[in-house]
């Protein structure tokens, strides 16, 4: 029998996200402000839920960063809201951190169509989940996103990923998530019942988004995609972002705007190379070489520039 198949006579208890929230029983009796206040109050639960799993999340970040240093990739798998959040997070890493395509990938049940409209039956396909993860290997990381912790599509992906030797993680809002049997780490976000029963785009989705924000940002920092707290890997694809690179360079190095623009011209618009050129007092070609040698880390490139060459006293 398929591992996702369940005997109808052996029904599992409802996950917390499908239970009724007693604090919102009279939701439709509230005025607009009252509804918004209740939603806001309940959203604070999501923040607290994430705070409880930060030590485990830190371990996931460290494991993923090490995998990516070795050439591995990270994959998110989800359906509905969870799937959209995964695709969103993955898609934002290239413009924000200049992450190469294919390094962090979001997969959603139902494919691209499911990003803009509901494809509800897609989440029931174990086969599609397995197929989405069929290319993974031992150096990769698979992260399943499922509020209930039981989505068949996610289960299929995690099962296939684990069989391939990948590191597997489940992010759910159910401490008793059935899919934990397929994962190495379970990040259980205890957000409880939703204001609107079963609407996991609310607290559950908010908590998952916070986890994804923290996870991917911390991984990018670990991989040297920032300098101090500056977004030095940003891809300047339009006028607004080109102006931002100038401002970042001014902040990082203490240059005036005119000098910063001139330096960026010398480095072909490469912000990291401009920072290394200025702070390590090297020419742009040497700055580019140092960054290449140190996986794009500005900090490591600057440190290397200050060390004496091998063989020198």
Q: Do domains 16-222 and 239-306 have the same CATH topology?
A: no
DSSP SS3 for 300: helix
In the chain, where are the structural domains located? Answer: 16-222, 239-306
pLDDT tier for residue 235 given thresholds of 50, 70 and 90: confident
Residues 62-111 have pLDDT tens digits of 999 999 999 999 999 999 999 999 999 999 999 899 899 999 999 999 99
Query: If you average pLDDT over residues 222-240, what whole number do you get?
Result: 89
Give the CATH architecture of domain 16-222.
3-Layer(aba) Sandwich (3.40)
How many Å apart are CA 103 and CA 296, to the nearest integer? Answer: 15
Catalytic residue among 56, 92, 190, 251: 92
| Positive/negative CA dihedral, 266, 272, 276, 282 | negative
State the catalytic residue, choosing from 123, 128, 159, 194.
Answer: 123
Active-site annotation holds for 190: no
pLDDT in tens, 158-176: 999 999 999 999 999 999 9
42 is annotated as an active-site residue: no
CATH architecture, range 239-306: Orthogonal Bundle (1.10)
Q: How far apart are CA 273 and CA 291, in angstroms?
A: 7
Q: What is the pLDDT of residue 236?
A: 80
């Amino acid at each position: 029998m398929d591992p996702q198949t369940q005997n109808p006579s052996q029904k599992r208890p409802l996950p917390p996200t499908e239970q009724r929230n007693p604090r919102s029983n009279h939701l439709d009796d509230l005025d607009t402000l009252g509804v918004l206040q209740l939603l806001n109050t309940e959203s604070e639960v999501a923040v607290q839920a994430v705070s409880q799993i930060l030590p485990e999340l830190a371990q996931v970040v460290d494991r993923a960063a090490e995998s990516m240093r070795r050439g591995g990739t990270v994959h998110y798998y989800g359906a509905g809201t969870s799937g959209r959040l995964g695709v969103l997070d993955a898609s934002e890493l290239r413009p924000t951190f200049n992450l190469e395509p294919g390094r962090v990938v979001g997969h959603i049940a139902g494919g691209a169509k499911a990003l803009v409209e509901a494809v509800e039956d897609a989440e029931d396909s174990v086969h599609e989940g397995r197929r989405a993860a069929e290319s993974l290997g031992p150096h990769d990381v698979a992260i399943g996103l499922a509020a209930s912790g039981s989505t068949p599509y996610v289960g299929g992906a995690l099962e296939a990923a684990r069989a391939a030797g990948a590191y597997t993680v489940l992010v759910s809002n159910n401490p008793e998530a059935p899919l934990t049997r397929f994962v190495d780490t379970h990040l259980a976000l205890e957000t409880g019942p939703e204001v609107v029963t079963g609407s996991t785009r609310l607290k559950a989705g908010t908590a998952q988004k916070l986890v994804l924000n923290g996870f991917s940002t911390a991984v990018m920092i670990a991989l040297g995609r920032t300098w101090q707290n500056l977004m030095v890997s940003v891809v300047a694809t339009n006028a607004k972002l080109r102006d931002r690179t100038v401002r970042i360079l001014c902040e990082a190095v203490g240059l005036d705007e005119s000098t910063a623009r001139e330096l960026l011209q010398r480095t072909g618009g490469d912000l990291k190379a401009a920072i290394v050129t200025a702070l390590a007092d090297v020419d742009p070609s040497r700055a580019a070489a140092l960054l290449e040698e140190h996986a794009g880390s500005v900090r490591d490139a600057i440190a290397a520039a200050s060390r004496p060459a091998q063989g020198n006293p």
